[in-house]
Structure 1
């Protein structure tokens, strides 16, 4: 059975208080109608149990990568951290479709997104080293980013400063994923009276993206 991983990156649990979640729900409703055969799983990064890139995890990676250590040679803390990282990456790659719903905070995404992505860069699982440089292994996966923006980042001087969508697309692209065009709702802090129109347009784009993703078939 094909699977879609729906990843939310916002501490707001109430959908009515989160514009990103509202747009994401339109995507989900549309996608379910188009592809009832796909299992959908939700990960909330603010509650997800995942290791952070601390000293123990860094040493664990180095010891196993090029220092000649085996898993049983690591300290208990190092072994716990690296085992959790690999388990998260293993589970992540079992999905076929991915949707990330994030806000832009201070030019970028919430820090928890970077902490999560650090767990996915596992050599031999999501990418491999080759003579010409690293090669992504998730070439049969498709991902979409839904982002809410208080300011205007699609044009003008702020376009070069936006680093949330840019980072996510670069990271997932590095891992080999097929990236769809980002769905965004922007300018809501600048033009509060226009929020209904901005949201309506974003929801329509989300529905269109859902129909487009639904057309992409995967081998099971």
Structure 2
């Protein structure tokens, strides 16, 4: 059975309060029409305990990668945090499709998303280093980003200041995932009277993207 991992980075727990999650739900509804048996796992990052790269994780990884330590020789703190990191990465690797729903805050995504992504960059697990450079191992997987923006970043003077979608696409592509075109709903703060119309249009784009993703021929992991 194929599995879809639905990841949201928004402190709002009520879908009614989040335009991004409303668009995300439209994506899921359409996807389920195409693949009724799809298993959907939801990760609300603000409700999770996500390991952050601190001194324990920094040195624990270094000891294992090039300092000659075995896992048993690490401190209890290093072992515990590395286990949590690998457990989170394993949950991610277990999926076939990925949907990220995030807002654009202060030119980038919420910091909790960066903390989450830091747990996925594990050499020989999600990528390998080869003579020609790093190579992602999470191939034969599709991902899409649904992003809401209060301002306008697709055209005009702010184009070069959007780092949320740009970073996420590069990070996931580095790991080997195939990225679909991002579904963007922007300008809600600039044009509040048009917010409902903007969200409705984004829901339509999300539904179309869901059909495309669900119909793509992929080998189930």
What is the deviation of 1:196? 1.5
Residue 174 of structure 1 is matched in structure 2 by 174
Number of positions where the alignment pairs a residue of Structure 1 with one of Structure 2: 220
Residue 137 of structure 1 is matched in structure 2 by 137
Give the 3-state SS of the residue equivalent to 1:11 in structure 2.
coil
What is the deviation of 1:170? 0.4
What is the deviation of 1:137? 0.7
What is the deviation of 1:37? 1.9
Map Cα deviations across residues 37-76 of structure 1 (whole Å, 9 max, x no partner): 2100100111122211001000000000000001100000
User: Where in structure 2 are there 5+ consecutive unaligned residues?
Assistant: none
| Residue 40 (1) aligns with residue 37 (2) | no
Give the 3-state SS of the residue equivalent to 1:80 in structure 2.
helix
Residue 197 of structure 1 is matched in structure 2 by 197
Give the 3-state SS of the residue equivalent to 1:43 in structure 2.
strand
Displaced runs of 4+ in structure 1, greater than 3 A?
A: none
Residue 217 of structure 1 is matched in structure 2 by 217
Residue 83 of structure 2 is matched in structure 1 by 83
User: Where in structure 1 are there 5+ consecutive unaligned residues?
Assistant: none
Q: Does the 8 A contact of 1:89 with 1:119 survive in 2?
A: yes
| Residue 6 (1) aligns with residue 6 (2) | yes
Alignment RMSD: 0.7
Map Cα deviations across residues 89-142 of structure 1 (whole Å, 9 max, x no partner): 112101000000000000000000000000000011110000011001111110
Residue 184 of structure 2 is matched in structure 1 by 184
Normalized against structure 1, the TM-score is what? 0.98
What is the deviation of 1:217? 2.9
Map Cα deviations across residues 148-197 of structure 1 (whole Å, 9 max, x no partner): 00000101111100000000000000001100000010000000011111
CA distance in 2, matches of 1:185, 1:176: 26
CA distance in 2, matches of 1:214, 1:193: 34
Residue 54 of structure 1 is matched in structure 2 by 54
